Amino acid sequence: MVSISRFTHSYDLDGAVALYHSLRMKPVYLSKNAFGSLQAWLASSFCDRIENAPEEIKAEVQELAKYKILTQTQDEDDRVLSFVRSKIPAPAVNVCYMIMSEQCNLACKYCFLGNNDCDKRSNFLLENISTETADKALAFFIRQIKESGLDFEENKPVLIFYGGEPLVNFKVLEYTATKVNELRNTEKCMRNIEMSIVTNGLLLDEFRVKRLHELGVSIAISIDGFTEEANSMRVDVVGKPVFSRILDKLNLCKSLGVDVSLSVTLSEETIKNTKDILNLVDTYGVKAFGFNIMMSSDTFVLPQSYNEAAAQFIIDEFIELRERGIYEDRMMRKLKSFSKAQVYFSDCAATTGGQIVIAPNGQVGICHGCLHDKQYFVAHIDDDDFVAAKDENFIEWSQLTPLNHEECMDCPALGICGGGCPVNAMHLKPGNTIHSIDERFCVHSKKTLEFFIKDLYRIIAQEQAAPTPN
């Protein structure tokens, strides 16, 4: 008998209904009349075969069957799920977070690393990464890239200078970036490597901005909004606000003609006004940035209402930003998945098993969110035999996709979610582990998917209504 797939979800639109298979990811839009006829046929005794669909909906039924929204056999859903699961990528490293220093000159109240917590902060290493360790770290990274089996041209390696605050250790950062540029000529896998720095910006000056630009290191500055209020949680180690100083650095980069991207953490104050971020973009000519949804910890707990408001804020900003041709990473990753109808297995490099994090003492971990306690730091750069792709911890993280969570099977956003952050999931409730659900992303992913489905219908309707040119 023909039936609706367990992975099919419906969306009521203005004058139409969208049917969407969460793993095939192609919405099919039906008029209300066609949807009513479909329901009547499915409830009848004549819906034993797709070919027996009534003439008035035969084309629609065939399209629905093509995208598995309708099934004809009991095991069809199982076969689709099994096929998609077979495509979950194995660990393949091409991203390296190099921690230049675990120390930071800020103590943001929402810091997921724990710089706002005395106990956690006391665990951060005092020594910065040295040139010797940086050399070994690059060699280690190169070995992991080669072991990955990835196409270096298609999957460009990425090196991110991170912290703490990476500019605390600028001399070694400069040394490392110079070394990377030299390696482009001797190591094929490093030829197209991309380098970036994530910084709070306070230690930037004219020389450093120019030097980073010269070395090909793109600059991402962390900021929470365009007002003092929006940045009230971004404070230095003695609790003083830093917003005006960050604006000074943005002005410096603008005056030097050096493009920066912004890493915007969505505080509760930030999401109250969509225009503040747009003002920031327009004032400083920002070409790209990413939104960071705040994470809970044992010292910082978010209200439930925050997740809903933050998800809607990101969508509202996306609508405005695309009109300006601005790239926002968090939405675009999901949009690419939706537009290509390709399952989005993971929302971060760590949960693909594709990322290493190298601490100043040479320890190698999976996620920089574990810096304070070094949980999931499972190797050392001196270990010449270590292969991330074969390590049980990296394999475990690479399987943290919603596709392996039974509680996610009925979610319409199953194929577009990516699963969020395992570290945040650990902190949401007592007893949670990396295998628990990051509930922030349940809200964000569902709202994002609904927006994509409705927005695509809007575009199709506009195109159909447009007059035909003579």
Give, for 161, the enclosing helix (H) or strand (E): strand 158-163
Contact assessment for residue 172 and residue 128, using Cβ atoms and an 8 Å cutoff: yes
pLDDT of residue 50: 93
pLDDT < 70 regions, the chain:
114, 116-117, 296-299, 468-470
pLDDT of residue 398: 96
Residues of the chain with CATH 3.20.20.70: 95-389
Burial class (CB in 10 A: 0-12, 13-18, 19+), 45: exposed
pLDDT digits (tens, 9 = 90+) for 15-40: 899 999 999 999 999 999 999 999 99
pLDDT of residue 407: 95
Kindly report the pTM of this predicted structure.
Answer: 0.93
pLDDT of residue 22: 98
CA 392 distance to own-chain centroid: 23
Alpha-carbon span 334 to 354, nearest angstrom: 18
pLDDT of residue 101: 94
pLDDT of residue 241: 86
Fold for the domain defined by 95-389: TIM Barrel (3.20.20)
Of the candidates 95, 171, 146, 142, the residue with the CA atom closest to the CA atom of residue 354: 95
For the chain, the first-to-last Cα distance in angstroms comes to 47
pLDDT of residue 46: 86
pLDDT digits (tens, 9 = 90+) for 345-398: 999 999 999 999 999 999 999 999 899 889 999 999 999 999 999 999 999 999
pLDDT of residue 23: 98
The tokens describing 394, both together, are 């990296």
Of the candidates 214, 206, 131, the residue with the CA atom closest to the CA atom of residue 171: 131
pLDDT of residue 152: 79
pLDDT of residue 109: 76
Alpha-carbon span 391 to 460, nearest angstrom: 47
* Region for 404 from its dihedrals, namely left if φ exceeds 0, alpha if ψ lies in -120 to 50, beta otherwise: alpha
- Cβ atoms within 10 Å, residue 205: 12
Alpha-carbon span 384 to 68, nearest angstrom: 47
